[in-house]
A and B are shown apart, each in its own frame.
Chain A
């Protein structure tokens, strides 16, 4: 009880003390909160994308077989399907047809995929929201696409993929396989790549090995690898964002360090007065710790809450320039928030503890002054 009361009193004084240099302390807290905000935004964003990728891509083909020619991805002969089917453990083998389409008038890149099941009517397409936005196309509109022979072919938009699916469908144009072949000039008997279903998941690696031996000009890609791609893709430790940001953090550390370590003459005198009027060394240090805790805790709460709003309510507005890059077509998606308590805890310890320690350590010296020194000032 009296311990609580004592610390409440000390917090009273610490707040008064911070209030005296409120402009400086406010600036410090804001900069600090901004750093927490950026870190937390990156963590929230990458974690959410990773989770989404894992959940959504669970249904991706178990193995994709690409043919490589001269080191580049090339069309794969349909004859390979029968060869692959003979491998024990392999279930279904299907040919996939897809490609990229650059639209010169808008400057956007689309992904054209062959229609799945049920197939689209000939001459019709289904488009993603991003395609619809950039081409101002709605259901029923005709969209001309330029074929390999230079002639334009018009397709009728039969369907627009929902907003909810934008994270996978924004730039998609789905069209009947025959139309795709005609548009891109893919010869009959060839596919873009092949997809495999394997009966027993445990055999994936063995099957991949067999494929590599049986068809040396191909490359099997496992779904596991795809999922791992997304993990490493958004691994938050990587990326220029954080590299650039590291500079800001370093600047802040220097700033905070300077502020914390160089106690002003006034502050030293005050600590002497506190000692003289009967504060123990430990109490003076406790007061300084509270100062540090108040500043860093405010920054922590502020930063993390604004980061949450930023990533999950404004769809990471500030990251958009980086994510968007040169792309004309930018998917608009609402990520599903996921908060990892360990990451929040780690962020807490990375922000509150170092700052508090940085405030306390330089005070140590000043707090151990002899109380009588104040009598000679």
Chain B
């Protein structure tokens, strides 16, 4: 699905505070699997996710999406690819406050030129799937933590992406909500979605559905180069 070849990411290049967040990372993420990146804080998990998800460009190395190189594409094309291929769930969820849950869910598809009615139906169905149809018109700041999380997942799914990318999804959740989250991810994986999670929560990387755990330390992948 996504292949990284010799990826290095350097922040603040040629400045006194230059920092190498990723160093020569090569990796193949297989379609239809659940991959978890684990490692201590600052090990480069988020940076790696943003490169996999076509949000950021590597300093050197090449990124392939389904066999096609996307490293050199312009921002416009990258955005297009990102929108179609990836659904993101952020650590803080980053819902937009002041607007309703359904408007938040529709956000990634707002600019695709799709018909409003079909888009709306799709968003409603997704919210329904997560038991949130009653909250569709509520402003997001009135939602509970668990509801916010599920709205964020619904938003990641609205463009029907092949890959779900989640960065520390359980960091702000209690055990029960974390289990709920993993349950949803398992269901999505069973439907054929590729799932990539960065987490240092044992609950996540020790979960039974995980196909592969990649351990990171200081911007490098540790341990055997397995590919599940």
Contacts and interface: CB of A to CB of B under 8 A. Distances in A.
A372 B92 CA distance: 13
Given A8-B116, A376-B46, A377-B92, A371 B110 contact: no
B89 to A, nearest CB: 11
Interface string B34-75: 000000000000100110000110000000000000000001
Interface in B91-109: 91-92, 94, 96-100, 103, 106-108
Contact of A20 (B82, B92, B99): B99
B193 interface: no
A268 to B, nearest CB: 12
Chain A CB count within 10 A is highest, among B92, B100, B111, for B111
Interface string B145-167: 00000000001000100000001
A283 B111 contact: yes
Contact of B111 (A10, A17, A20, A376): A10
B79 A278 contact: yes
Size band of the interface chain B makes with A:
35 or more
Nearest to B88: A276
B15 interface: no
Interface string A364-377: 00000011101111
A281 interface: yes
Chain B CB count within 10 A is highest, among A9, A266, A276, A283, for A9
B112 interface: yes
A342 B39 CA distance: 67
A138 to B, nearest CB: 65
B103 A16 contact: yes
A280 B55 contact: no
B63 to A, nearest CB: 14
A221 to B, nearest CB: 66
Interface residues of A, number: 34
Given A20-B98, A20-B99, A375 B111 contact: no
A2 interface: yes
A5 B108 contact: no
B99 A371 contact: no
Contacts of A102: none
B85 to A, nearest CB: 10
A376 B55 CA distance: 12
B160 to A, nearest CB: 13
A12 B103 CA distance: 9
Nearest to A286: B111
Nearest to A278: B83
A62 to B, nearest CB: 68
B113 interface: yes
B97 A9 contact: no
Contact of B94 (A2, A20, A273): A273
A281 B75 contact: yes
B49 to A, nearest CB: 7
A334 B67 CA distance: 77
B50 A273 contact: no
Nearest to B108: A277
A6 interface: yes
B115 interface: yes
A279 B79 contact: yes
A10 B92 CA distance: 24
B18 interface: no
Given A270-B96, A371-B55, A6 B116 contact: no
A375 B90 contact: yes
A215 B162 CA distance: 99
A177 interface: no
A372 B50 contact: yes
B35 to A, nearest CB: 17
Nearest to A368: B75
Nearest to A374: B94
Interface string A158-175: 000000000000000000
Contact of B110 (A1, A10, A21): A10
A17 B99 contact: yes
A300 B94 CA distance: 36
B114 interface: yes
B56 A277 contact: no
A221 B55 CA distance: 78
B76 interface: yes
B112 A6 contact: yes
B116 A276 contact: no
5 contacts: A8-B116, A10-B110, A276-B94, A278-B82, A280-B75
Which 6 A-B pairs give the minimum distances between C-beta atoms?
Answer: A2-B113, A278-B83, A20-B98, A372-B50, A372-B55, A6-B113
Given A20-B97, A278-B159, 17 more contacts: A2-B114, A8-B116, A9-B111, A12-B116, A13-B110, A20-B99, A21-B98, A274-B96, A276-B90, A279-B79, A279-B111, A280-B75, A283-B111, A370-B55, A372-B50, A372-B55, A374-B94
